[in-house]
Structure 1
Amino acid sequence: MNCNDVKFKWKSYINGELPSDEERAIDEHLESCPECEQLLNETMEEQEEKSREQIVKQEDPLNEIPIKKQAQMLRKAKWKNRLMTALTVLLIFIVVSFMTGLFTASYYGFGSDKQGRGERAVQVVKTATQMSMPNVFLGSGGMDTNFYFTLDMDFSIQKQIGKDNKSIGKLDGKMLFNSLNVKREWADGQYDVKLHFLHPNLVANEQETELDFYEEVLNETWNSLDLLPEGTVSELAITFDGLYEIDEVYQLLEGFDLDIVWYAIDTGVEQEREEYRSPYFSASNGIWGFHERAVFDFPQHGNSIMERGDGQKRAEIFKTSLHFLVENSKLAKKYIWTEQSFEEVYKYVEENGVKTYGVVVTGPSKELLRLQQNESIIYATMGEVDFWNWYNTPSSGTIYN
């Protein structure tokens, strides 16, 4: 049925006098023809105007169009309005999502300096992790901005055992403007803190019975390493008999085939602990330290640094890392809980220098056993053990899915 046919039968159609097949044909034509649909709209408007005029005259509404036909026309108008409303809402949703996406990318992509807000948040999480957890750092991953002002970060949590970096968990973070929420999922459902230190100044004031216990633990550590087979690598947290500069640590461990991966740094608060508190310092009770990975996050004087040397460079990197947390303390405290003030810790290190009282080392188990000959070591705890990997591979990678 074409437009001329519709116009010819229009009065009969409006009055509901057409056979059902012709009426369906006109209905189908109206759905595809804007011109005839406009004719329908004009007819309905005329009917509404006549009805209003009759109501004003206190007359009955005009019944020129049968009730059945009026209901059909009203249903069409309602569905058309619903469709237009749905399309309008969808369009608004698309436009708002697009605009918030642009704003979100712009918000997290820019900051007060060259580093954007998103990159800064990721760096805070990385720095806080490697400074507060011995031999733990964030590995591969990244961040993504989303719609509606949110940012997601996703990183693997790793540690070095021998020459390999082992994945021990996953970190998921979400930001909403300056609000940070971070969750850690450990590979085995939990992370057992095996590496801990003693502070030499506290040990010096301990009673004889406590000193005997510390020596017993130390001997058990050496015995455990002795029982391990030749083809294994281990990690070990060792405590020195005093505070040493980083370059002095290299002298203490000269001649040993091992990697120094983490340094426990004296921040002054270790000696202020109350009597009822634990004398051990670990990832579970507010230790501060420096991971070798930080040399890539906060390079000093270029990217080159000696494997065992340049202790002053590492000391400056530690202070730079700590100052970075001071500048972003509100964000950092949403990730790591500590009673210590970042500002007080930084002030102490600035005044007293970067001194270490222990390190985490990794290497062949039998090579670590040789450390029992070192009289400067007064305490040691063993962490994880793995199969032999004490060699450098030309290439490596990880597939996660």
Structure 2
Amino acid sequence: MKDHDNDESVGFTADLMVQRKRRIKWRNRIRISMRLIAIFFIVSFVFLIYSWGTYFYYEKSGKNFQFERAVVTLTELNGHKIDKELGLVRLSPMLKQSVSTKVYRQIGERRRIVGELHAEQSLFGELKYTVKGISQYLDNSGLDLWMPMTVIYGGGDTDRKREKEDKLEQLSHIEDGFVAEMSFTLNKAVPPQQLAELLADYNLWITGMAMYSGELQEVKVSNYSSAGDSISAPHLTLRPFFSYSEDGLGRVESLSITSDDIDLAVEQMLKDLEWLTAHVTYNGVLEDQQRLAFIKKHGVQVYGAVVTGPVRELEKLKDVPELSNFGLGQIEVWNWH
């Protein structure tokens, strides 16, 4: 009897120990899980505070506005037209700023979306942007502002000999009731006021002028090509007058360059280019610093433009002897004032 009782006692104790071990394991698992959950919530809370804090700082200190201004200035000086309602600037945990907006073309009074721009800048890195185009056509022919060699090497006091202008010929086959965009170049570089006055009698909008800023002379561009008596090289664009208020909350924008406000557009362009090259790091900033020095030394000169308006009004440009190398861009149904 005694031995039998001892066996039962031993068996009961072993089962109890197994159960207790199991309970201890589960308690440890639960305790570890609770700690991990607590750590997760604490880290998430700290990250949330960090994100809100840095974004609030970037907003209140003006860093996001400076980034937006840099994006708008850089892209439009390089010939793009973008929707300036950029929306919220995104800020990564590593303090990389990024923003996206639409790229458009001005055709008559309508702005047709032709792509999307994405720009970003890390804390100590360069401002970079890419444009993803949207096109209904496989080829992208249209507006090419080729620089006459007379702009670089002199001469050009007489009008350039015009070859057959196929784009003007195309206009003659387009019926009334349409508006379009068209580009052209001059036989030499002239002050922008002179070009604006030359086009003042036509019912057109000047949406941009191609500036000569010393390319292939005092500015060594990285890539260019030539054909006939013209050269295709990167250039700065004189855009219609656009200016931010000091706090960045307000803005004044014109849709076209006119002879009345051309001086304002030129003055603002110089301010923008000076600010951009002094405060923003980007690919090509050294070339733009050289361009700015050239402009300050020789004055602002333009050698071509992009205009938009009714096709019959555009067709009249064939009678202006100073203009040549026409390019025909987008066409829309009549939407003119």
Contact 1:108 1:145 in 2 (8 A): no
Q: Which residue of 1 aligns with 2:59?
A: 109
Match of 1:328 in 2: 279
Q: Distance in 2 between matches of 1:326 and 1:263?
A: 20
1:308 to 235, 259, 264: 259
Q: Distance in 2 between matches of 1:343 and 1:205?
A: 22
1:68 matched to 2:18? The reply is yes
TM-score by length of 2: 0.79
AA aligned opposite 1:312:
D
Answer whether contact 1:143 1:151 (CA < 8 A) is retained. no
- TM-score normalised by structure 1 residue count: 0.68
Instruction: Give 1:297 shift.
Output: 4.2
Which structure has more RCO (C-alpha within 8 Å, separation ≥ 6)? 2
Find the partner of 1:289 among 234, 237, 241: 237
Q: How does 1:28-39 map to 2 (within 5 A)?
A: none
Cα deviation, residue 262, structure 1: 0.2
Deviation of 1:164 after TM superposition, in Å, equals: 0.7
1:312 positional shift? 2.0
Residues 271 and 360 (structure 1 numbering): CA distance in 2 closer, same or farther, change over 3 Å?
Answer: farther
Does the residue aligned with 2:88 lie in a helix, a strand or coil? Answer: strand
Q: Quickly say closer, same or farther: Cα 1:178–1:109, change in 2 above 3 A.
A: farther
Distance change >3 Å, CA 92–CA 246, structure 1 → 2: same
Q: Does the alignment pair 1:138 with 2:83?
A: yes
Closer, same or farther in 2 for the Cα pair 1:277/1:143, shift >3 Å? same
Q: CA deviation at 1:345?
A: 0.8
Change (3 A) 1:240 1:129: same
Identity %: 19
Alpha carbons 2:192, 2:301 under 8 Å: kept? yes
Aligned residue pairs total 311
Conserved? CA contact 2:71–2:119, under 8 Å:
no
Match of 1:264 in 2: 210
The secondary structure found in structure 2 opposite 1:123 is helix
* CA distance in 2 between partners of 1:307 and 1:79 (Å): 76
Residues 210-254 of structure 1: CA distance to partner in whole angstroms, max 9, x if unpaired? x99x732x5112111112221211111111222222222222112
Distance between the aligned counterparts of 2:314 and 2:322, measured in 1? 14
Bigger strand fraction: 2
Q: Pick the aligned partner of 2:38 from 81, 84, 88.
A: 88
What letter is aligned with 1:277? S
Query: What displacement does 1:388 show?
Result: 1.5
Give secondary structure in 2 for the equivalent of 1:261: strand
Q: Does the 8 A contact of 2:107 with 2:331 survive in 1?
A: yes
- Asked if 2 retains the 8 angstrom alpha-carbon contact of 1:161 and 1:363, the reply is yes
* Structure 1 residues 155 and 79: alpha-carbon distance in aligned structure 2, compared to 1, 3 A threshold: same
AA in 2 matched with 1:88:
A
- Residues 347/147 of structure 1: CA separation in 2 closer, same or farther (3 Å cut): closer
- Structure 1: runs of 5 or more not aligned: 1-14, 18-62, 392-401
SS of the residue corresponding to residue 239 of structure 1 reads: strand
User: Does the C-alpha gap of structure 1 residues 270 and 197 become closer, same or farther in structure 2, counting only changes over 3 Å?
Assistant: farther
Structure 1 letter corresponding to 2:325: Y
In the alignment, is residue 350 of structure 1 matched against residue 296 of structure 2? yes
Task: Report the CA distance between 1:379 and its aligned residue.
Answer: 2.6
Q: Does 1:202 align with 2:150?
A: yes
SS of the equivalent of 1:256 reads coil
Match of 1:158 among 99, 104, 109: 104
User: Counterpart of 1:173?
Assistant: 119
| Structure 2 unaligned spans of 5+ | 1-9
Distance 1:90 1:100 in 2: 15
Closer/same/farther in 2, CA of residues 86 and 252 from structure 1, 3 Å limit: same
Q: Which residue number in structure 2 is paired with residue 35 of structure 1?
A: none
Q: Superposed, which structure 2 residues align to 1:355-394 within 5 Å?
A: 355-391=301-337
Bigger drift between 321-330 and 155-164 goes to 321-330
Cα distance per residue 1:107-147 (max 9 Å; x no partner): 42255xxxx2222122212111111126x333443123446
How far is 1:174 from its partner? 3.9
> Would you say the 8 A contact 1:197–1:281 is kept in 2?
no
2:209/2:239 contact within 8 Å kept: yes
Greater CA drift, 177-186 or 310-319? 177-186
Aligned CA RMSD, in angstroms, stands at 3.4
User: Any idea what SS the aligned residue of 2:165 has?
Assistant: helix
User: Higher helix share goes to which structure?
Assistant: 1
Pick the aligned partner of 1:127 from 68, 73, 76: 73
Alpha-carbon distance, 1:344 to partner: 0.8
Question: Which residue identity does 1:375 align to in structure 2?
Answer: P
Contact preservation (8 Å) 2:118, 2:130: yes
User: 1:278 maps to which residue?
Assistant: 226
Report Cα offsets for 1:11-51 as digits up to 9, x if no partner.
Answer: xxxx997xxxxxxxxxxxxxxxxxxxxxxxxxxxxxxxxxx
Q: Does 1:247 align with 2:193?
A: yes
Deviation (angstroms), 1:276 = 8.0
